[in-house]
Amino acid sequence: MSLRKYLARLQAENKLVTVAKPISKTYQIAGLLKQLEPQPVLCEQVAESDFRVAGNLFCTKADFAAYFDIPVAEIIPTLTRAIENRKPCEVVTAAPCQEVVIEDPDLDALPVLKHCELDGGNYISSGVFVAAHPEHGQNVDFHRAMQFSKTEMAVRIVRGRNFDAFLQDLVQVDVAICIGNLPNVLAAAATSVELGVNELEIANALEALPVVKARTVDVFVPAETEFVIEGTVYRDRRHTEGPFVDLTETYDVIREEPVLVVKCITHRRDAIWHALLPGALEHKLLMGMPREPTIFREVNKVVKCLDVNVNPGGCSWLHAIVQIDKQHDDDGKKAIEAAFRGHTSCKHIYVVDADVDIYNPLAVEWALATRFQGDVDLVVKDKAPGSSLDPSAEPGTKMTTRVGFDLTKPLVAKGKNFEKAPFPQVDVEEWID
Ligand SMILES: Cc1cc2nc3c(=O)[nH]c(=O)nc-3n(C[C@H](O)[C@H](O)[C@H](O)COP(=O)(O)O)c2cc1C
């Protein structure tokens, strides 16, 4: 599907808020999207640009599942199958994303948003970077990029990830930044897989994804994407990047990051820009959801795993709630250790039984209140480097303390019962009209 078809579907279902009045890319669009979150929004007239802007597109698991026409419970198995059964994409020679080709690019013409008052600049936040390496092939991932001239951006590149490996090795890397993608590409770009895997093949396994060769760089991009910004990232040319809001909704620090020089922009006719609010629900969903299959797989190796929720309350990164079918007294603790292996940036793991709704924070807290004893059910790991996103980790070293909470009930209750007492089922309509 294309983004415009998806928006038409939302409109037909009365789920899309359309804004007809001109609205500014400086603060106004971000403010409106945040206020309307999680409702999808289409801004039809941007004051400073000829292009439309859509946002809040996939804020919840329900939105994501509805796109693929699957129940929410099928998301983890669907992503797992796509990662394991990748499919090479069909290559086409003519593509909607190249209907318009601009060889003297000007980033000012695009609706690159200024989100919040202290931001270091206007930011592309939904950009899926496609890059290639002569030995490893294509890599696809997200990088926020801060505009600082008509053709230059500072790109946030987390050290140690695949794109960073390309850049350290090749010194300069050609990239195509794709904007205006759908959940197959968004989820695939957000997965962490081994070097050498082209994530677009994961996207193609989720939903057919024809690709086309970019105009000025040697990579293949989704044919239906709305915008492609082509250019080169230079390892040794740096510019300040930030401040910018990160996943935790707090401001990230200012860093000296590699510079991207834009050489060509292609787009669809009447292209639609995807605004992805930093730290907001859509960002959180894309960060956390791809970690759920990796946690599930590791936990399922040691105990029967039923479901995993990398929940927004834990910034969709630092917490995971794992539901298991407990068969042995030490299953909860085994699940904690395995979950940390499945998501190494995670800080707190909560393990619950099958009768606890992992999507309801009150239910998880109820398990903490009624099934947990700190002296026996708590796992405190030795201090070790954790997530760069955690403001409470030690600055510089990222040293953090990982903790696991075994909230499962003992197999044999010694005192009071652990079950919630069921109330009688009655037909309410018998008494109330
Ligand atoms: C919306 C979104 C924004 C992201 N922004 C960045 C970023 O600015 N820099 C970065 O290095 N990683 C960012 N990431 C995480 C990368 O996409 C993540 O490192 C990637 O999934 C790992 O890819 P790899 O396995 O190819 O290394 C972002 C992820 C999402 C979902």
**pLDDT tens digits, residue range 305-323?**
999 999 999 999 999 999 9
CA nearest ligand 1 atom 22, residue: 192
Task: Using the atom order of ligand 1, give the atom closest to the CA of residue 193.
Answer: 25
Q: How confident is the model at residue 414 (pLDDT cuts 50, 70, 90)?
A: confident
Higher pLDDT, 323 or 416: 323
Task: Using the atom order of ligand 1, give the atom closest to the CA of residue 287.
Answer: 31
Mean pLDDT, rounded, for 188-212? 96
Task: Indicate the class that CATH gives domain 290-406.
Answer: alpha beta
Q: CA 291 from chain center: how many Å?
A: 9
- Is the pLDDT assigned to residue 58 strictly greater than 90? yes
| pTM beyond 0.85 | yes
**For the chain, what are the domain ranges?**
72-272, 290-406
- Number of residues that this document lists for the chain: 433
CA nearest ligand 1 atom 29, residue: 142
DSSP conformational letter for 423: P
The pLDDT assigned to 396 comes to 87
**Which stretches of 73-167 are assigned E, i.e. beta strand?**
91-92, 100-102, 122-124, 128-133, 137-142, 145-147, 152-155
Q: How confident is the model at residue 201 (pLDDT cuts 50, 70, 90)?
A: very high
- 143: CA distance to ligand 1 center in Å? 6
Whether the CB-CB separation of 111 and 273 falls below 8 Å is answered with yes
Residue by residue, DSSP assigns 208-269 as ---EEE-SSSS-EEETT-SEEEEEEEEEEEEEEE---B-TTSSBPPPEEEEEEEEEEEEE-T
Catalytic residue among 174, 246, 353, 377: 246
d(Cα 181, Cα 97) in Å, to the nearest integer? 11
Q: Is the CB of 156 under 6 A from ligand 1?
A: yes
Cβ contacts of 298 within 8 Å, gap of 6 or more? 338, 339, 341, 342
The pLDDT assigned to 18 comes to 98
Q: Is the CB of 141 under 6 A from ligand 1?
A: yes
> ∠349-355-356 over CA atoms, to 5°?
40
Whether the CB-CB separation of 16 and 10 falls below 8 Å is answered with yes
- For the chain, give the percent of residues with pLDDT over 70: 100
The whole-chain average pLDDT of the chain stands at: 97
The pLDDT assigned to 283 comes to 98
DSSP conformational letter for 109: G
357 is annotated as an active-site residue: no
- 142: CA distance to ligand 1 center in Å? 4
The CATH homologous superfamily of the domain defined by 72-272:
Electron Transport, Fmn-binding Protein; Chain A (2.30.110.10)
- 141: CA distance to ligand 1 center in Å? 5
Mean pLDDT, rounded, for 287-307? 97
Mean pLDDT, rounded, for 329-340? 98
The pLDDT assigned to 293 comes to 94
How many CA atoms within 13 Å lie on the side-chain side of 43?
29
- 190: CA distance to ligand 1 center in Å? 6
Whether the CB-CB separation of 110 and 122 falls below 8 Å is answered with no
d(Cα 39, Cα 14) in Å, to the nearest integer? 11
Task: Using the atom order of ligand 1, give the atom closest to the CA of residue 278.
Answer: 1
Q: How confident is the model at residue 415 (pLDDT cuts 50, 70, 90)?
A: confident
**pLDDT tens digits, residue range 135-150?**
999 999 999 999 999 9
- Is the pLDDT assigned to residue 71 strictly greater than 90? yes
Q: Is the CB of 142 under 6 A from ligand 1?
A: yes
Is it true that 72-272 and 290-406 share their CATH fold? no
- Is the pLDDT assigned to residue 87 strictly greater than 90? yes
Mean pLDDT, rounded, for 225-239? 98
Mean pLDDT, rounded, for 380-400? 95
Q: How confident is the model at residue 433 (pLDDT cuts 50, 70, 90)?
A: confident
